[in-house]
Amino acid sequence: MSRIGKNPITVPDGVSVEIAGVIVTAKGKLGELSTSLTDNVVVTQEDNQIWVKPKDDSRDARKMWGTSRSVIDNLVVGVSEGFKKKLEINGVGYRAQIQGKSLNLQLGFSHDVNFEIPDGITIKCPDQTHIEISGADKQSVGQVAAVIRAYRPPEPYKGKGIKYADEYILRKEGKKK
């Protein structure tokens, strides 16, 4: 029995959800998102609530029950509120700045790293050591944050690199004489 799948998805005001077979589309103030679900689940909408139920009692249907509910919930939250990830840059001379449609990163390499900002994603740099990534699609926001972090992941000795704002770096002790 899926604990997540049993809960309904509440659709807030200003968001419209259309269900056409296995394709679910959500429209809101931040745009339009759609996804294709498996045919193992049945999605129904009653007033401002969406219910997800397994089609039968098979193992695959029970596996996809909670997953499908979470995917639809991410669509609804994405078009109404959006998602945000925050990154921090630590290190002497490490900095970030926005230049047109790209993010310029100086990370101790012999060259600057220019990251092209994809469509649907907004990147802000409140100062040189913080990056805020926001957008409607949760997967895209997380993927962009992971790609930027992968340019210089934090190292365990001095903590230099790009890390998530809520990430804890396990520090190591240096060499002893």
What's the pLDDT at 177? 80
State the angle between helix axes of 59-80 and 138-151 in degrees (0 to 180), rounded to the nearest 10.
80
Q: For the residues 152-169, what does the mean pLDDT come to?
A: 95
pLDDT at 21: 86
Q: Compute CA distances 86 → 100, 129, 134, 159, whole Å.
A: 20, 11, 9, 17
Tell me if 9-80 shares its fold with 83-164.
yes
Task: Read off the pTM.
Answer: 0.89
The residue with tokens 């520090």 is: 171
For the chain, give every domain's residue range. 9-80, 83-164
Q: Any residues with CB less than 8 A from the CB of 146 and at least 6 apart, and which?
A: none
Top CATH class of 9-80 equals: alpha beta
Query: 8: closest CA among 63, 45, 57, 54?
Result: 45
Model confidence at 47: pLDDT above 90: no
- Residue 129: CB partners within 8 Å, gap ≥ 6? 88, 89, 90, 94, 95, 96
Q: Alpha helix (H) ranges present in 30-137?
A: 59-80
Tokens 């699609």 appear where? 137
78 neighbors 15 (Cβ within 8 angstroms) = no
Domain at 83-164: CATH architecture? Alpha-Beta Complex (3.90)
Residue 84: which H helix or E strand, with range?
Answer: strand 83-90
pLDDT digits (tens, 9 = 90+) for 57-71: 999 998 899 999 999
pLDDT value for 170: 94
Residue 5 has pLDDT above 90, yes or no: no
pLDDT band at 3, cuts 50/70/90? confident
Determine what percent of the chain is predicted with pLDDT higher than 70: 99
* DSSP 8-state class, residue 140: H
Of 78, 67, 71, give the one whose Cα is nearest residue 12: 78
Give the number of other CB atoms < 10 A from CB of residue 91: 18
Residue 1: the pLDDT is: 65
Considering Cα of 141, then 146, then 152, then 153, what sign does the dihedral take? positive
pLDDT tens digit sequence for 90-138:
999 999 999 999 999 999 999 999 999 999 999 999 999 999 999 999 9
